[in-house]
Amino acid sequence: MQPYEPFTGVIVLPDRAPFGTTSPVTLGDGQPVASIRWHNWTMRAWFEILNEYGATTLASGSTANAWGRRYRVLGPHSEILLELKLGMWGPIGKSRLLLPDGRILTTVGNWTSRKFSIIDQHGVTVARLVTTSPILSSRPDSLAFELTAPVLSIVQAIGFAQCMRAAVAAARSSGG
């Protein structure tokens, strides 16, 4: 599986960043595809996406400005893989996901309730957060991210989900 190629399917991700460890990312069938390492002692919500063995950095992400309203995911050569610009109402409502080819996707829903979709410029749902079940994951603290159209790579999808997770954490810590 190529981590930078467009992907359709289900990716199971951690919902929380455990302290001092990396978290596995799998496909819906349990096949490992990556891991996430959070750097908890930074103000920028910095994380790395590693290959399934944890040996190679595939991308890194963090807040892109001082207010925490933009998040950016960079590839291994510091190329922008995506940028998330939060809407005016934080994790509730619409936000924009900017891709390197100029496409703009929109998020719709309430991230803190874990109910949102990503729609393309034609209004078609291309991804959504779905509830995990024992069939999709044996991990109780996980999220299932379903990509229904090949608009994001596995690395972009993981990066977006972690930016979303960081935005939710920031909103909760600020009382928003």
Whether the predicted model's global pTM rises above the 0.85 cut: yes
- pLDDT at residue 150, rounded to an integer: 96
Instruction: Please report the domains of the chain, with CATH numbers, ordered by start residue.
Output: 9-173 (2.40.160.200)
Take residue 109 and report the two structure tokens written for it.
Answer: 């829903």
The first and second tokens of residue 75, run together, are 């590839």
- Are 83 and 65 within 8 A, CB to CB? no
Query: Cα 14–104–169 angle (5° rounding)?
Result: 30
Residues 9-37 pLDDT 10s: 999 987 665 555 788 999 989 999 999 99
Q: Cα–Cα distance between 174 and 28 in angstroms, integer?
A: 33
CA pair distance 68, 95, nearest whole angstrom? 13
